Amino acid sequence: MAAVPQLQRQFIEYTTSLYNEGYLDDQFTQLQKLQDESNPDFVAEVVSLFFEDSEKLLNNLATAIQQKSVDYKQVDSHVHQFKGSSSSIGAQRVTNVCVHFRNYCEEKNLDGCLRCLQQLKHEYILVRNKLEALFRLEQQILQAGGSIPMME
């Protein structure tokens, strides 16, 4: 089993890279700061809910976009919700795709929308994988008896 300091360094490096590459932003930091003894699993809970909701939204989006006559207002409404939830947890790249997606909805540009949906799925899966990796690292640190470093 790797030593705690090593794991902690790995954690810091990984987290830093997530911020530098734009996967996460300050909203995520805020989430971590909201976690405390009275609510030790807060971040995991919010992120799990985000994963659940996102998967539903992506399904709804796929259905809406495959309609013979696409209801762009409906599509936009789903994207708006996705934009809101992703921005509250700090999933910056997902939010950015949502912004472009909404523009295509306004233009009723089917091609643009289809491309954005693909991109959205892609970015969502990326951030989900990265957050899951981050949580695994945290678990390893805790199991080795260490504490999670606070990122500023």
Structure tokens at 7: 């794991």
Residue entry with tokens 């640190």:
141
Q: Which stretch binds another protein (CB under 8 A): 13-21, 34-42, 117-125, 134-142?
A: 34-42
Q: Within 62-91, which residues bind another protein (CB under 8 A)?
A: 77, 80-81, 83-85, 87-90
Q: Tell me the per-residue interface mask from 90 to 129 with another protein, x by CB under 8 A, - otherwise.
A: x---------------------------------------
Q: Which is nearer to another protein, 29 or 119 (CB)?
A: 29
Helix axes 110-143, 42-66, angle to 10 degrees: 160
Task: Based on the shown chain and the rule CB under 8 A, indicate whether residue 151 belongs to the binding site for another protein.
Answer: no
| Cα–Cα distance measured from residue 21 to residue 121, given in angstroms and rounded to the nearest whole number | 18
Would you say 57 and 78 are in contact if contact means Cβ atoms under 8 Å apart?
yes
